[in-house]
């Protein structure tokens, strides 16, 4: 499987995403949140996080991809949420800045897409969302 896990858990709510191929799930185990530094969930190029109640990661500068030890912070280009929780990805550490929600069992194959619903930290919808590529710095489950 190529995606190794580091223990983190979280609680999250709803999201808007695009459809992706069913084979993408092959790279991410059930119960995991998997973050990838490239689009389309490439095998062997991702960081997996075990997600459960009460766990989060407020600073992805200290999380590393197992293949190359590169920091996950500001490098996420695709995501698979194979958990029962909505996961919120934030653009800044400490759960700050704009964010997107990834629903339970949701996937985003390309965070460069401009169809994502991006929110301000106060919960209002960002006027011109654009993309969310290479900006994720923290995450939590709602």
Q: Kindly report, residue by residue over 5-20, the tens digit of the pLDDT.
A: 332 322 232 333 444 4
8 Å CB contact between 101 and 88: yes
The pLDDT of 21-32, averaged and rounded, is 67
pLDDT at position 48 is 76
Model pLDDT, residue 6: 30
Check which CATH number belongs to the domain holding 22 and give it.
2.60.20.10
Give the pLDDT score at 131. 84
Number of domains composing the chain: 1
Q: Is the pLDDT of residue 69 over 90?
A: no
Q: Does residue 27 have a pLDDT over 90? A: no
- Most confident of the following: 49-58, 82-91, 111-120: 82-91
pLDDT band at 96 (very low <50, low <70, confident <90, very high): very high
DSSP codes joined into one string, 60-125: GGG-B-TTT--B-TT---EEEE-SSS-EEEEEETTTEEEEEEE-TT-EES-TT-TTS--B-TTSPB
**CA 100 to chain CA centroid, nearest Å:** 9
* pLDDT higher at 7 or 43: 43
In this prediction, residue 95 carries a pLDDT of 97
Which range marks the domain in which residue 80 is found?
1-142
Lowest-confidence region among 15-29, 50-64, 78-92: 15-29
């Amino acid at each position: 499987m190529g995606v190794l896990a580091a223990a983190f858990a979280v609680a999250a709510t709803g999201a808007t995403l695009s459809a992706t191929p069913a084979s993408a799930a092959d790279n991410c185990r059930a119960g995991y949140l998997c973050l990838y530094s490239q689009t389309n969930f490439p095998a062997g190029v991702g960081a997996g996080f075990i997600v459960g109640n009460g766990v989060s990661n407020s600073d992805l500068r200290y999380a590393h991809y197992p293949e190359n030890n590169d920091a996950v912070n500001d490098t996420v280009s695709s995501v698979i949420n194979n958990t029962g929780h909505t996961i919120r990805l934030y653009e800044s550490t400490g759960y700050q800045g704009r964010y997107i929600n990834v629903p339970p069992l949701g996937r985003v194959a390309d965070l460069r897409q401009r169809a994502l619903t991006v929110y301000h930290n106060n919960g209002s919808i960002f006027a011109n969302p654009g993309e969310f590529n290479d900006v994720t710095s923290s995450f939590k489950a709602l």
